Amino acid sequence: MQTNEVTLGALERRIDMAVSLADIEQGVAERLKRLSRTVKMAGFRPGKVPMRMVEQTYGGQVRSEVIGEHVERKFNEGVREQKLRVAGYPKIEPKEASAEGTLEFSATFEVMPEVVIGSLAEQAIERPALTVGDAEVDSTIEVLRKQRAVFQKVERASAAGDQVVIDFTGRKDGEVFQGGQAEDFSVVVGGGQMLPDFDAQLVGISTGVSKTFDLTFPADYQAKELAGQTVQFEITCKSVEEAVLPAVDETFAKAMGVDDGDIAKMRAEIKENLEREVARRVRVRMRDQAFDALIAVTPMEVPKAMIEAEAEQMAEAAKRDLASRGMDVKNIPVQPAWFIEQATRRAKLGLIVSEVVVKNELKADADKVRARVDEIAASYEDPSSVVSWYYSKPENLQNIEDVVVEENVVAWVLAQAKTTDRAVTLEELMAQPQQQ
């Protein structure tokens, strides 16, 4: 019996189909007969259970299985006949009325969109340009010193970079709100640990001083009950502590992993690590811009099934991340709906990148894969063992090969777009947000 395709939307389709009752009855009879040879029932030897009892016990289940298989087969035949690429799973429903001798069903589903990559000639992409020199090494050493600072109490008003120990109480409509109270709370002034308006109140405060101020939470604040709300905080400064940075000496070099404490060797290692990190961040920045360009020139609708599946994966990943931080995810209602925007981008990019890879045969070149493995291994104490691990099993190389293919796509985009170099500082490059 023929199937009938109906277009419901840009990507939504419906196939109407009918299966023969005679074929179903024949399939049920054959399966029950096979089942009767092995089914076990109290009071009967295997293979001797009366067919009537087999049918009474298993008939409903077998009939459901046979109908499902016939409908699935008919659906797959219809999809092949119409040359459709199905996205996700179909929603199959029985029709209220069927023609004599048949069971009729409808299957609603989405199809994969046609991916047509537009011209990239007018897409502007900037390549960050930075050569790591002494200034960048000095800057990094300064950051490392600050990370290892010790704080000593001082008798003066606080300034940026100082650590203050405070008690604070936050009230909304006169009532202390959840998470709005703490004692002996240490915070570095200007360190970004607190909201900017709260942080500003910590500048110029002295030991023993209390102050009260109003604060309005951002509209997108993670605690929904506080988002966009104005509350009142009372803080008391219990101490002001000044950061004392370690000297750049043999002891510091040893703390950085240089066993003999040689400062020149430490600087060389820092420079080498910086160069790797700069190269990585430049790659990420170029990747993000290339993908943005591909999305811009490839307008398309993405199947809802793909977006929902991607959002589910992102929600599960978020739960695993929270669990790894020691949080009880059972009490954190992580919803796939939170990730719809990101999921849409990922699903769209997956379709676009796949099309670029297939049409342009952008395979993972063995030399590029080895170069990437060597780069990763270089940051380990025993690089050779890392290389050996990657090449011990084909599946160990899969992620590396995927990255190389991704880089090939980026190179393909850059060759067609308007790509220019732009000098950047180390601080600017390190501060750039990176999409995942």
For the cut 50, the answer to whether the pLDDT of residue 217 exceeds it is yes
CATH number of 124-132+260-431: 1.10.3120.10
What pLDDT shows up at residue 322? 84
- pLDDT, tens digit, for every residue of 399-428? 999 999 999 999 999 999 999 999 999 999
Quick one: pLDDT band at residue 434, thresholds 50, 70, 90?
A: low
d(C-alpha 218, C-alpha 423), whole Å: 34
Structure tokens at 170: 């936050």
d(C-alpha 206, C-alpha 413), whole Å: 56
Domain ranges across the chain: 4-111, 124-132+260-431, 149-244
- Name the region of 47 (left: φ>0; alpha: ψ -120 to 50; beta: rest): left
Residue from 120, 128, 118 nearest 418 by CA: 120
- pLDDT, tens digit, for every residue of 330-385? 777 888 999 999 999 999 999 999 999 999 999 999 999 999 999 899 888 899 99
CATH match of 149-244 with 3.10.50.40 = yes
395 DSSP assignment: G
* Domain 124-132+260-431 matches domain 149-244 at the CATH topology level: no
Residue from 10, 4, 34, 271 nearest 138 by CA: 271
- pLDDT, tens digit, for every residue of 248-264? 999 999 999 999 999 99
What pLDDT shows up at residue 44? 85
Ranges of H-type helices in 206-262: 250-255
- pLDDT, tens digit, for every residue of 157-178? 999 999 999 999 999 999 999 8
Which is higher by pLDDT, 119 or 330?
Answer: 119
Phi, psi of 81 (to 5 degrees): -60, -40
CATH match of 4-111 with 3.40.640.10 = no
- pLDDT, tens digit, for every residue of 247-303? 999 999 999 999 999 999 999 999 999 999 999 999 999 999 999 999 999 999 999
> How does the average pLDDT of the chain come out, rounded?
92
For the cut 80, the answer to whether the pLDDT of residue 329 exceeds it is no
What pLDDT shows up at residue 45? 83
Quick one: pLDDT band at residue 242, thresholds 50, 70, 90?
A: very high
